[in-house]
Amino acid sequence: MNKFNFKNIVTTNYDTVLEKEILHKPDIMYPGSGKELNNVENSSKQVLYKIHGNMSNPISIVLTNSQYYRFMHNEGYYKSKLYIFFASNTILMLGYSFSDINIQGIYFQFRNDYRNLLNEFDKNNPKVYLVIRKEERKNQNGYYLLYEKYLNSCGINIIDEYESIPQFLAELYKELKEYRENKGLEKLIPCENLITIKNALMNAINKSKINISEEYFIDYIKAVVHIFKYPSILAKEPFNVDLSNLEEDERIPDSIGLNLLDSILTLVEENPNLTTLDEYNEIIILSLEFAEQARNKLRNFYYYPDRFERFMKLSIKAKKFELTESKKKYFSEMFGQALRYSGFEFGKCYGSAEIINKEISKMPEEILQVYIEDIESKWQEFNEDEDKMFGIISNREIDWLNKFAEKRYWSKDLLDRIENLISKIQESRAVYFGG
């Protein structure tokens, strides 16, 4: 479920399973949370609406009939929010039978308000889907057909051919990925720019000068991001790259990946403001993924230093580094792996430690902060579980933290945080090992 990065999730559960085990640190909203006026929907973070309360605040929990009716009469913010979701979004209901009277009441109010428009709209633009497991369908016997007819009359489309919710989500993710791959650049780049961008990509792939004017730079960067995410596009016109000889788990040929990243570096030399784009942040993450693919999946360490060097060069040029929480977590995990790898003998042999030592002082502080924040967060989360605690950070990463602390070019705030983190780790290990 966390692969989809849904912006808004609504649950009637008041436990903490979703936020702790499945989602990536969402903003949490529930009656009595006091966050209703914080405009969380305008942030880049995922928002989890717990409309029946949260365990951390027992008085907010909705269980009894009187509490259900209290919600309907007193919680105007959440009623309005659900109404807007029904009106403005496609809704997917998982593990839910559409029996909650609060959600029913708001949904039927929405249907009643727009009844003259929805009858025709439902036929061509279904907006609400309900996933029901095969087992549930069997258990309802003859009643199921009536239930299905009732839901369809309410504009709710049933999906009932899957054994489990995880099976459905896996299939949905697969189809969504295929759809994105197949839609190609035509849906991404304005028609009038498409030929120019494709020609520039062909030049980059062949290590030639891309020859585009500045007005095409942003579209070009978007196209490179799309290729790294969905490299099967390279097998199609006009690229016609033979991808059949790739090693197992290799997603993009080494030379093509390096050439495309070099073309981005060339563009930002001409226009440094490109490094403020969200797409440039995507390129940084994808370049690190490209490097880690050589180390972790291909086990071909010969590819690694050139790829990792491109990541460092792209990172150094970044003027901002703003990511969603899920992307922060993903980036931090890969960056931590790179630090761990550089401490091994073969990592030293292939130069990643040397590259980090040489270039880390030039890297924007925001990038290192993402990694430090993730370690701090994990340490705080697991500080009462010693077994998990020592799996958070390796000895090699601690060595790098000490090296970072020795280099005094970071801000005082970041240096203090690094030194404080090192101190906590050393104290915990001393207690754990009896030192």
Residues in a beta bridge with 9? 48
| Domains in the chain, number | 2
The whole-number pLDDT of residue 424 equals 81
Give the model confidence (pLDDT) of 39-57 as tens digits.
655 556 788 888 888 888 8
123, 120, 129: which is closest to 160 by C-alpha?
129
In a domain, 370, yes or no: yes
Last residue of a domain, one of 178, 202, 229: 178
Residue type, 173: Y
225 and 298 in a single domain? The answer is yes
Last residue of a domain, one of 156, 178, 200: 178
228 and 375 in a single domain? The answer is yes
Q: What is the mean pLDDT of the chain?
A: 81
190 and 253 in a single domain? The answer is yes
On the question of pLDDT at 433 being above 60, the answer is no
The whole-number pLDDT of residue 230 equals 86
Segment 391-400 mean pLDDT: 76
In a domain, 41, yes or no: yes
274 and 196 in a single domain? The answer is yes
Give percent of the chain with pLDDT exceeding 90: 19
122 and 232 in a single domain? The answer is no
29 and 67 in a single domain? The answer is yes
384 and 277 in a single domain? The answer is yes
The whole-number pLDDT of residue 39 equals 60
Give the model confidence (pLDDT) of 93-103 as tens digits.
888 777 788 88
193 and 217 in a single domain? The answer is yes
13 and 99 in a single domain? The answer is yes
244 and 365 in a single domain? The answer is yes
Domain that holds residue 87: 8-178
Of these ranges, 76-90, 163-177, 217-231, 345-359, the one predicted with the greatest mean pLDDT is 217-231
Residues in a beta bridge with 47? 8, 27
136 and 196 in a single domain? The answer is no
How sure is the predictor about 435, in pLDDT bands with cuts at 50, 70 and 90?
A: very low
252 and 333 in a single domain? The answer is yes
